[in-house]
Amino acid sequence: MSTTTPPTASAPTTAPVSQQWVLTLSCPDGPGIVHAVAGALAGLGGNITESQQFGDPLSGLFFMRVQVEAATSREDLEAALQPVAEHFAMSWVLDVVGRRVRSLLMVSKAPHCLVDLLYRERSQAMPIDVVGVVGNHPDLEDIATFYGKPFHHVPVTRGTKAGAEARLRELVAELDVELVVLARYMQILSDDLCREMPGQIINIHHSFLPSFKGARPYAQAHDRGVKLIGATSHYVTGDLDEGPIIEQDVARVDHSRRVEDLVAIGEDVERQTLARAVRWHAEHRVLLDGHRTVVFR
Amino acid sequence: MSTTTPPTASAPTTAPVSQQWVLTLSCPDGPGIVHAVAGALAGLGGNITESQQFGDPLSGLFFMRVQVEAATSREDLEAALQPVAEHFAMSWVLDVVGRRVRSLLMVSKAPHCLVDLLYRERSQAMPIDVVGVVGNHPDLEDIATFYGKPFHHVPVTRGTKAGAEARLRELVAELDVELVVLARYMQILSDDLCREMPGQIINIHHSFLPSFKGARPYAQAHDRGVKLIGATSHYVTGDLDEGPIIEQDVARVDHSRRVEDLVAIGEDVERQTLARAVRWHAEHRVLLDGHRTVVFR
Amino acid sequence: MSTTTPPTASAPTTAPVSQQWVLTLSCPDGPGIVHAVAGALAGLGGNITESQQFGDPLSGLFFMRVQVEAATSREDLEAALQPVAEHFAMSWVLDVVGRRVRSLLMVSKAPHCLVDLLYRERSQAMPIDVVGVVGNHPDLEDIATFYGKPFHHVPVTRGTKAGAEARLRELVAELDVELVVLARYMQILSDDLCREMPGQIINIHHSFLPSFKGARPYAQAHDRGVKLIGATSHYVTGDLDEGPIIEQDVARVDHSRRVEDLVAIGEDVERQTLARAVRWHAEHRVLLDGHRTVVFR
Amino acid sequence: MSTTTPPTASAPTTAPVSQQWVLTLSCPDGPGIVHAVAGALAGLGGNITESQQFGDPLSGLFFMRVQVEAATSREDLEAALQPVAEHFAMSWVLDVVGRRVRSLLMVSKAPHCLVDLLYRERSQAMPIDVVGVVGNHPDLEDIATFYGKPFHHVPVTRGTKAGAEARLRELVAELDVELVVLARYMQILSDDLCREMPGQIINIHHSFLPSFKGARPYAQAHDRGVKLIGATSHYVTGDLDEGPIIEQDVARVDHSRRVEDLVAIGEDVERQTLARAVRWHAEHRVLLDGHRTVVFR
């Protein structure tokens, strides 16, 4: 069990005014959890405005996400929740609703996911703060620049991979990065890097996993003659294309579509699937349940 | 505020064994509701397995659906909940999860919704107990008979409408009917009858309301050249085609479809839309919020 | 190249009245095919009411489906088309639009696809004539009987498989069967039987192929934590779950769904996916292009 | 009948090399049309690579779109088609496949459709050449500039409407505009302007027409409690929100969505619906059939 406080949360610590908090937690299932959490929040005068629970009979774990409006400080909230969390052996995260998650976008040459995420950030359609864009190719610098984002060109070749990952670690540390989004980044991260940021790296795979793992999924889909193509957004683990799935979607195709048509049609599916996954993550709606996810939409 | 106990609930009143209960409620929104309900349930040793809330900022109402596993009698549950309900001025319903809602299906000549609902009942895909089928035409008697359901032929002409509705009221009373499903019943019920059973009559309208109200919606849709056709399942009020919407769905069509094609394509949309609405109603997932619905799926 | 005349086509051979014909063909691609076919049909006074073409750059094959209204006999039509077919080395099929394809349904215990297909046949939603139902279990006899269909109980055990397939061959021959539909038939047909009826056996697989081949796909899907489940209808070849795909569809699920929920949700996807595939086949809309299909919807 | 040659088509008039042509036509239905067209094209050595037809039994009109690969000049093609067109009283358009249609985008303050169309143009996902952006507000100039497009600020007030439309007519003439796209342009064009450019102005309406015409459709949808929201792309006629529909799509919503959520969710539906309509128009896939459209996708 652990108390994870997002590193850059700028919650007020004095003169509390009423605001929305979001609490997510998981623990071994059992009676009394909802009552205990609701009681701790009610004791501070909090009004629960949204709440979702799920008990997984397979893992025996209980998951909860609750939004509460309360005129209280983070210290007081944590003090009220701490005994409950300890009693039920909870992993929990407390954050301010709408706080923008510091995100680093990683790209190669395909612009569609980058354009989409930067546009949605600027439209305030998702609570992320893109603190930088990393490209192993320089092609997309102009888009980053248009949206006012620093672009870091970090080329990767067989010989320079270790150095490139070291540079990534530096950027993550320097920029206080909470979330890395692989927005059609065509390099594979090392197992070590994946393990250092569990549940903090989101990828978009351009197929309906577990169909068509690996490279060139649209060519595989075309060869198999499928009638729907898809995209899968998932957390990255060391196990390539096997990380916990956050969101999937599909689009209909027919026999007349060539591989390049599938690629073009797939772009729309990819960017929407990735955008939903990133938004849900940033809104603390995604909880890990072993190699699967609980998504409280 | 009112305590509505389903008329035929066969909950055990002695020797309580552990079972699943479902509680739905609505009341003016305010702090402490979730905590109070969770507390009343926890006091009886109940374990909340599913819970959903919604506070409507427009109506100022709070809605909640909670499933709880508890080894308790209905009397004890009601006794524990009664003070909470009174304190918050709740409308509430308590039922056993999976209890089959006594349902009367009304049809005319089109069989697709009838076949679908009877099949789903037999497959245990929805907790309903179809206690009879009423047809203003005799055409569908064989289907009712195949599924072992009494078929009541109640013809309706301009002159006999009052008498036909009297017969309906008799059937509702005799058969202890909790839910009436208009499964493509092509007659309009009187305002009086609608008012007698608020939130207890579900209709399927063969268009994407509010488009194409009234008769011959597919002909209207064809004439307008729409690219999607739809169906809408809603509670019946005296206001024709204006009742609270429970569920809607659509199917894609193109220019080559004639009116009769739209009718055929629409059948699949209608039966699925109606089936979802009936199932959610029977599972106590649909709550009325003025002229709209809250659906806890 | 071959001229395949459906065995039971009851086209008028004398006193031709105007009716709709459907012609499907494939041949090596090249200039002049459409013109030659249109010319042969125009020479008989035919009016083309629907026509679709596709040239596959990978296989180098050209595919065409054309509906034509003509007051002509089958003999005259075939005589007009024969020189064109020979010139372009065509495989072709000529049929009367709406002629019902003699179909044998094979089932095990799950009724949803059987109920759906028999209902659609009776509703004239697809041009099939179900000439019999074969079950390796006796469970679904009552449904077949209700729809007036002979039910053949052909049990299959390890020792009796060869005998069971011999009985199938007899039924196919006796009943002049043109199409076999595996409507959730849970036995695997032998390679020999598959090879005897190429493009004439349609299966429904309860997953989004190529994900989750083999048995228990919903359990696999649940374990992988997918967010969409699917179904695939395909022609059966000796290569299990690898036959040419005709149609696929999906339904959205979330973390709260258990394996049994996926099975129930999947039923609706399966029956609709299979129904579309069977209807398109019966309407001569599906052409084989190697291990893929061309579907002229 | 009329021969419409796109104003800026830069077809080769000498030294013909093989290229793809697209021919669209409509005329009174009757026998022999396909044969005659195919014959004219075959006479020039053309190879038909794609062809679609539709005969509308209601209007009695026949529609056809054919792509043909031919090493011929525009003059020779037109000379070959002219007699056929006259014989059948055809309206027809001949163009080079992939020629970019000169388009003017009109916007107000909402950027999502503008961003989307400019991105898709740059990605070569649709054959348009955006020759300028007109805004009645200056807000979106930076986006136009980023994509290298001239931005014309043409404010509209009650008193200046006539002058603003005069400026539009100038721009259409100066820039040789073939297509005007109202990309969430919040002003209503005058009847006169609409009549001057029939089938050349495409709008996106932010509802599933004919539901919720007029202003504030998402507020209306929220009030009605619909479970799906939609968008409709249509040609603009003098009859507001009644023009021929090109494409529609929907997204699922539930009771918890506020009006502002519907607006945000709707953005994705709008931009995709508009993008498909514009692409199909630019690819000559949309034909007018009275107040409806034929879309050869």
* Domain spans, chain D: 3-96, 101-295
pLDDT score of A5: 44
Domain B3-96 coded CATH 3.40.50.300: no
Is A6 in contact with A93 (CB distance < 8 Å)? yes
For residue B297, give the chain D residue with the closest CA: D254
Confirm or reject contact between B112 and chain C (CB < 8 A): yes
Is D67 in contact with D21 (CB distance < 8 Å)? yes
pLDDT score of B3: 42
pLDDT score of C115: 96
pLDDT score of A213: 84
- Structure tokens, D202: 């495409």
Confirm or reject contact between D48 and chain C (CB < 8 A): yes
Residue B264 is nearest to which of C50, C125, C267, comparing CB atoms? C125
Is C139 in contact with C120 (CB distance < 8 Å)? no
- The answer to whether residue C4 scores a pLDDT higher than 90 is no
pLDDT score of A79: 96
Strand partners, C19: C70
Residues from chain B that touch D199, judged by Cβ atoms under 8 A, are none
pLDDT class of C14 with cuts at 50, 70, 90: low
Lowest mean pLDDT among A18-27, A37-46, B79-88: A37-46
Residue B253 contacts by C-beta under 8 Å, 6 or more apart in sequence?
Answer: B226, B227, B228, B229, B261, B262, B265
Residue D32 is nearest to which of C31, C42, C49, comparing CB atoms? C42
Calculate mean pLDDT across residues D5-14.
46
Residues from chain C that touch A246, judged by Cβ atoms under 8 A, are 227
Q: Which of D48, D52, D62 to mutate to test the interface with C (most CBs of C within 10 A)?
A: D48
Residue with tokens 């086509």: C9
For residue B287, report the phi and psi dihedrals to the nearest 5 degrees: -120, 145
DSSP annotation of B251 reads: E
pLDDT class of C15 with cuts at 50, 70, 90: low
Mean per-residue pLDDT of chain B: 92
Is C70 in contact with C45 (CB distance < 8 Å)? yes
Residue A264 is nearest to which of D112, D125, D267, comparing CB atoms? D125
- Cα separation, D226 vs D219, whole angstroms: 11
- Structure tokens, B108: 């005319």
- Cα separation, A12 vs A73, whole angstroms: 6
pLDDT score of B17: 82
Chains sharing 3 or more CB pairs under 8 A with chain D:
A, B, C
Mean per-residue pLDDT of chain A: 92
Confirm or reject contact between C115 and chain B (CB < 8 A): yes
Q: Which amino acid is at C67?
A: Q
D6 or B243, which is more confident? B243
Q: Which of B191, B192, B223, B241 is catalytic?
A: B241
The closest alpha carbon to D290, from B223, C77, B109, A168, belongs to B223
Q: What is the pLDDT of residues C116-169, one digit of tens each?
A: 999 999 999 999 999 999 999 999 999 999 999 999 999 999 889 999 999 999
**H helix or E strand, kind and range, residue D20:** strand D19-28
pLDDT class of D23 with cuts at 50, 70, 90: very high
Residues from chain C that touch D294, judged by Cβ atoms under 8 A, are none
Q: What is the pLDDT of residues B196-227, one digit of tens each?
A: 999 999 999 998 888 888 888 999 999 999 99
Residue A46 to residue B55, Cβ atoms within 8 A: no
- The answer to whether residue B2 scores a pLDDT higher than 50 is no
Is D54 in contact with D131 (CB distance < 8 Å)? no
Residue with tokens 């903090």: A200
Q: What is the pLDDT of residues C247-294, one digit of tens each?
A: 999 999 999 999 999 999 999 999 999 999 999 999 999 999 999 999
Spatial strand order in the sheet of A101-107: A151-153, A128-135, A101-107, A179-182, A201-205, A228-235, A245-252
Calculate mean pLDDT across residues A237-265.
91
Q: Which of D211, D255, D286 to mutate to test the interface with B (most CBs of B within 10 A)?
A: D255
Confirm or reject contact between A295 and chain C (CB < 8 A): yes
pLDDT score of D18: 86
Residue B35 to residue A39, Cβ atoms within 8 A: yes
For residue B211, give the chain D residue with the closest CA: D211
Calculate mean pLDDT across residues D223-236.
95
DSSP annotation of C268 reads: H
Angle at B209 between CA B208 and CA B215, to 5 degrees: 90
What number of C-beta contacts closer than 8 Å exist between B and C?
23
For residue A297, give the chain C residue with the closest CA: C254
The closest alpha carbon to C234, from C292, C179, C186, belongs to C292
Q: Which of A139, A241, A254, A289 is catalytic?
A: A241
Please report how the helices A74-88 and A33-42 are oriented relative to each other, as an axis angle in degrees rounded to 10.
160
Residue with tokens 């499903």: B181
Residue B115 to residue C119, Cβ atoms within 8 A: yes
For residue C208, give the chain A residue with the closest CA: A211
- The answer to whether residue B9 scores a pLDDT higher than 50 is no
Confirm or reject contact between D51 and chain C (CB < 8 A): yes
Q: What is the pLDDT of residues A108-126, one digit of tens each?
A: 999 999 999 999 999 999 9
Residue A295 to residue C57, Cβ atoms within 8 A: no
C positions 251-290 inside 8 Å of B (CB) = 256, 264, 267-268, 272
pLDDT score of A84: 97
- The answer to whether residue C8 scores a pLDDT higher than 90 is no
B101-295: CATH superfamily: Formyl transferase, N-terminal domain (3.40.50.170)
Calculate mean pLDDT across residues A212-241.
90
- Cα separation, D228 vs B273, whole angstroms: 12
pLDDT score of D21: 97
Calculate mean pLDDT across residues B169-175.
97
pLDDT class of C210 with cuts at 50, 70, 90: confident
- The answer to whether residue A3 scores a pLDDT higher than 50 is no
Confirm or reject contact between D67 and chain A (CB < 8 A): no
Mean per-residue pLDDT of chain C: 92
For residue A14, report the phi and psi dihedrals to the nearest 5 degrees: -130, 165
- The answer to whether residue D47 scores a pLDDT higher than 60 is yes
- The answer to whether residue D5 scores a pLDDT higher than 70 is no
For residue D268, report the phi and psi dihedrals to the nearest 5 degrees: -65, -40
Confirm or reject contact between D115 and chain A (CB < 8 A): yes
- Structure tokens, C73: 């006999």
**Is ipTM over 0.85?**
yes
Count other Cβ atoms within 10 Å, centred on residue B192.
Answer: 11
pLDDT class of D209 with cuts at 50, 70, 90: confident
Distances (CA, A) of C27 to A49, C37, C55, C136, D70: 65, 12, 10, 40, 21
